[in-house]
Amino acid sequence: MPVPIRIMGLDPGLGRMGWGVIAVEGTRLTHVAHGVLTSSAKENLGHRLLALHDGLGAVIADLRPVAIAVEQAFVHKDPQAALKIGHARAIALLAGAQGGLDIAEYTPNHIKKCVVGVGHASKDQVQAMVKRLLPTARVEAADAADALAAAIAHAHLAGTRAKIAVALAGQEALAAPFARSTGKKSALA
């Protein structure tokens, strides 16, 4: 029986950073927890980043995920917004690295495609699909729903990567006797 692994998803933002943790056991996904970390716009940038870092570090220490999926920044026109999201993403990546987590990054469209089936899905569509895939989550905040969607996307993609690795290992094992008997190197090895 497979052991469940925990994956954390993050929707980075300087004012609001959504987070969500799921457990994956085979193909079964289970909601663990979710929330939104906030920082006050009245504080200076350093204190805001520290608040996000401390909060995220506490969640990682408490829930013990093995991997973290961080949504990449997508900003259409506002360079100031891009910088703020970049700072928040840096905190997310730093906290993940400090926690020894496997770190993955996905574009918003990639996450939406994995969860909803459409790369340009609306926030409402993402939230509805997260509620359907994780019925016990009762997620109301869009930031937390996006974070759970990132975790779900990583779970699906990690599962696919694992299947490919197993298949390739099997092919290499089948090719090894051929290489030994003919003295030729296998193209797979």
Which active-site residues does the annotation give?
Answer: 11, 71, 143
Give the number of residues written for the chain: 189
Virtual torsion, Cα 171, 176, 182, 185, nearest 10 deg:
80
Name 142's Cβ contacts closer than 8 Å, sequence gap at least 6.
18, 123, 126, 127
Are 19 and 147 in contact by the 8 Å Cβ rule? The answer is yes
Phi-psi region of 61 (alpha: psi -120 to 50; beta: other; left: phi over 0): alpha
